[in-house]
Amino acid sequence: MKMLLLLMLFYGSVNSDAVSKPNIIIAMADDLGIGDPGCYGNTTLRTPNIDRIAKGGVKFTQHLAASPLCTPSRAAFLTGRYPIRSGMASRSKVGVFLFSASSGGLPTNEITFAKLLKNQGYSTALIGKWHLGINCNSRDDFCHHPLNHGFDHFYGLPVTNLRDCKPGSGTVFTTAIHMFVFIPLQIVGIALVTLEALNCLGLFRLPHWVFFSCLLLAATIIGLLACFLHFFRPLNCILMRNHEVVQQPMSYDNLTQRLTREALKFINRNTGTPFLLFLSYIHVHTALFSSKEFVGKSKHGIYGDAVEEMDWSIGQILKALDKKKLTNKTLVYFTSDQGAHIEEVTDKGDIHGGSNGIYKGGKANNWEGGIRVPGLLRWPGVLQPGTVIDEPTSNMDLFPTIVKLAGAALPEDRVIDGRDLMPLLQGKILQSEHEFLFHYCNAYLNAVRWHPRNSTSIWKAFFFTPKFKPDDSNGCFPTHVCFCNGHYVTRHNPPLLFDISKDPKERHPLTSKTENHFHEILRVMQEAADNHTKTLSAVPNQLSWGNLLWKPWLQLCCSSSYLSLANNGDDNGHAY
């Protein structure tokens, strides 16, 4: 143990100035479970390149997303702040952006790590998924766009990948269609049949205009549904280069290769200057896809094919660093925005979601499976290879970590919730600087995590938990995701308490009979939650219904390759 500590201290002291302003490469998967990569115990999915990062650097085993949903998690990641602080946490059932013409998004007064690194002379690029808004008041103000948040270059999806983006993959709007289409049609149908029956019995005379009005209403509802299903894909599933729409709708053909090629071009252009590359993968959010070279090659169907293609892409990035002799000058970070989507099961029973390992729950809830994500960092010569750290850390921690490495000062006019990881990574401290972490389900404080100083215990208290359906399942299958309030949750008084250090599966809640300090632990955690709440300021809700709904005057259109699925290659129709 002493030898290990000496080695970590040696690596931590290796001439910190020898690599000034390191290049930063962030690879973020979408909905990848912590049980998917080989370095976290998976023996059937092949992820040699992700595993290479772990072997050559540091692996966090308790790395936590600030939110279990895409939009708020990514907002927290970029700003180092809980999403509630920026208004990027919803109070409704819908917790993410679904339309390219929504007016909500990451506020312009938020400071991203990209903005701070750009001010330090870094070239910055975001390639892949954004999902944090585009416009505010007009289709070309781009107030929420990546280029307005510190990125010099953007190539990717301004919204997200959805089932509706890929023909034949179904829709995410099943519940909404049932509520706003099928139920109204049933009501209209029942009303017509009832009125006609009364008319035939001579009990009520049905005017012709009433009959035709009902038919017109039904036809209007069906027509609106047809228009929505037809136009959703070309209006929302688009590929952009900076401010220009280059593919509408986007093509899945060779999509990962195109994103990878764009990333490699960026690296090659910036070998002589520090750079920040945020490679925000579309894999493995549904709709699942992979290039023909990977189809049918994994042991886990189309989900496994997608994971293995993403791993290939990471391998190309690592090879490029080796080739350009940038490996020792580059900090590489790999993670996922939240846990695997457990409820992604098709009508045929095919599993399209990943594995959260031993952990309970998944995407959209704050059981460990929803927020415990891969956390890998590699920086040869600075970080000790093969290091494993079990301390609680957050994806918000990358913000202060890379901002300080770039030589920038942290903003002093706002609360930064992330903590600099370098002292922990280099063994200068052995315990996480997070004594408390707060887990939000949308805008609602769901749970508190407490790691007392000089203690191995990690307490986690839930104020409410989602109601899994079916009752013996591990998710909320009828609604496709778990919701955060109302009759969808069970509230706990006193809060549901676990010791994560001893019960990581969250199977055995503690009581005053099984934990002598039960009431004192909950008192401290409630006090911490109250103090945290006092630090919150009122801000506009970026995910209100007014900001979520589609606004035609904000709609992006059109690329030169409109309906470009005729092209089987890049956004200019060039094949690879």
Instruction: Give pLDDT tens digits for 351-392.
Output: 899 999 999 999 999 999 999 999 999 999 999 999 999 999
Cα distances (angstroms) measured from residue 145 to each of 133, 393, 476, 546, 551: 6, 28, 33, 19, 17
Secondary structure E strands in 168-274: 239-241, 244-247
Query: Quick one: which of 507, 390, 518 has its CA closest to 459?
Result: 518
* Residue 30: inside a domain: yes
* 355 in the same domain as 318: yes
Active site residue 178: no
Q: Is the distance from CB of 156 to CB of 130 less than 8 angstroms?
A: yes
Q: Is the distance from CB of 397 to CB of 35 less than 8 angstroms?
A: no
Tell me whether strands 436-441 and 444-450 are parallel, antiparallel or unpaired.
antiparallel
Residue 17: per-residue pLDDT: 41
Q: Given 182, 206, 232, which residue is the final one in a domain?
A: 232
* 186 in the same domain as 95: no
Residue with tokens 């220009």: 244
* Residue 447: inside a domain: no
Query: Quick one: which of 151, 99, 104, 105 has its CA closest to 128?
Result: 151
Helix (H, G, I), strand (E, B) or coil at 534: helix
* 361 in the same domain as 263: yes
pTM: predicted TM-score of the whole model, two decimal places = 0.91
* Residue 418: inside a domain: yes
Tokens describing residue 124: 């910055």
Q: Is the distance from CB of 81 to CB of 414 less than 8 angstroms?
A: yes
Residue 178: per-residue pLDDT: 85
* 227 in the same domain as 316: no
Number of C-beta neighbours around residue 21 at 10 A: 17
* 327 in the same domain as 297: yes
Marked catalytic residue, from 131, 145, 300, 451: 131
Q: Given 190, 212, 232, which residue is the final one in a domain?
A: 232
Q: How far is CA 547 from the centre of its chain?
A: 19
Query: What is the number of alpha carbons within 13 Å of residue 121 lying toward its C-beta?
Result: 9
* Residue 425: inside a domain: yes
Q: Which domain holds residue 227?
A: 173-232
Within the chain, which residues score under 50 in pLDDT?
1-7, 10-18, 561-569, 572-576
* 288 in the same domain as 381: yes
* Residue 564: inside a domain: no
Residue 566: per-residue pLDDT: 38
* 264 in the same domain as 132: yes
Q: What is the CATH number of the domain that holds 187?
A: 1.10.287.550
The secondary element (H helix, E strand) that includes residue 524 is helix 518-534
Q: Given 181, 200, 232, which residue is the final one in a domain?
A: 232
* 290 in the same domain as 193: no
* Residue 73: inside a domain: yes
Residue 139: per-residue pLDDT: 93
Q: What is the 3-state secondary structure (H, E, C) of 122-173?
A: CEEEEEEECCCCCCCCCCCCCCCCHHHCCCCEEEEECCCCCHHHCCCCCCCC
Residue 570: per-residue pLDDT: 53
Residue 168: per-residue pLDDT: 87
Cα distances (angstroms) measured from residue 52 to each of 60, 319, 378: 14, 11, 9
Query: Quick one: which of 26, 27, 36, 28 has its CA closest to 362?
Result: 36
Residue 571: per-residue pLDDT: 58
Residue 197: per-residue pLDDT: 84
The angle, 0 to 180 degrees and rounded to 10, between the axes of the packed helices 70-79 and 398-405 is 30
* 410 in the same domain as 308: yes
Residue 564: per-residue pLDDT: 46
Tell me whether strands 23-29 and 387-389 are parallel, antiparallel or unpaired.
unpaired
Query: Quick one: which of 263, 276, 266 has its CA closest to 406?
Result: 276
Residue partners of 5: CB distance under 8 A and separation at least 6: 427
* Residue 331: inside a domain: yes
Marked catalytic residue, from 70, 237, 482, 484: 70
* 392 in the same domain as 310: yes
- The span from the CA of 304 to the CA of 193, in Å, is 51
Residue 480: per-residue pLDDT: 92
* 190 in the same domain as 155: no
Q: Is the distance from CB of 164 to CB of 232 less than 8 angstroms?
A: yes
* Residue 222: inside a domain: yes
Structural domain count, the chain: 2
Q: Is the distance from CB of 427 to CB of 518 less than 8 angstroms?
A: no
What residue type is assigned to position 124 of the chain? T
Q: Determine if the peptide bond prior to 14 is cis (ω within 30°).
A: no
Q: What is the CATH number of the domain that holds 144?
A: 3.40.720.10
Active site residue 136: no
* 258 in the same domain as 117: yes
